[in-house]
Structure 1
Amino acid sequence: MFKKILVPLDGSTPSIKAAKRAVKIAESSGAEVTFFHVQHSLESYINLPHIFAAETYNQIREELKAQAEAILDNAIKEVDAQGVTIFKKLSSGDPGKQIIEESQEGQYDLVVMGSRGLTGIQDFLMGSVASRVSKHAPCAVLIVR
């Protein structure tokens, strides 16, 4: 049924639940799983990056990358993935956009992701990442609460 499953991870409890669900699906279908983390680009945190010394800027980038790697490594430790092939992949930019692009380019059959608790006017104005992915991904999307 499924051959390739993409699991976007942000380190939250819902994303870990999604990782566990994806592994169970992979166990029964023989699919491979990719744990995918999108870190916001550093420029989204810093309005004027040119005012920072290059060394400090690079240190911050490296720290963010280390945190992203830790999120992926921790997810792998959390799931019981006996017999399931799990890949790790990092990206940077807008999470919704990057997840949608990865699901297209990687030709995934399924995206399994955690829900995100945006509510009310904030959800109306911005939409959550899960909502955006479910509307625009080229494959099935399972949102885990």
Structure 2
Amino acid sequence: MKAAVFSSGTTGESPTLIRQEELRLFAEVKSAAGERGSVIAGTGSNSTAEAVEATREAEKIGVDACLLVVPYYNKPTQEGLYQHFKTIAQSTSLPCIPYNVPSRTVTNLSADTVIKLNHIDNIIGVKEASGNLDQIARIISNT
């Protein structure tokens, strides 16, 4: 993947956008980027079904990958997180990147779960923002 820009991530205020705004944003960013770089669309949601729908719509727009935030507020188990990301990844041909940001979501995506997710073909990495260097080192050494 060449240089990339994230669209509708945490800094892009994704929780405050309605679906139509997100899709328009993805289309505008993709149009502006053209062939100069890739667009990674923030399609994550607390709801697996919502994330699947957003990811499929983003794929139709032509984005290059999707960023999937850890579900926030309802504190899913690690198995619940695995099933959430697996279901989304299986619904698309896009490369998928889970986003672990426990300071915002209150739930940490554990190293064991990331390592397990690594076996899903189109999960291509993780945006790891836990700040836990031991966890990061464990992910690096086991993937």
Does the pair score TM above 0.5?
Answer: no
The higher-RCO structure (CA 8 Å, 6+ apart) is 1
Q: Give the alignment's TM-score, normalised by structure 1.
A: 0.34
Q: Give the alignment's TM-score, normalised by structure 2.
A: 0.34
Quick check: which has more Rg, 1 or 2? 1
Higher fraction of strand: 1
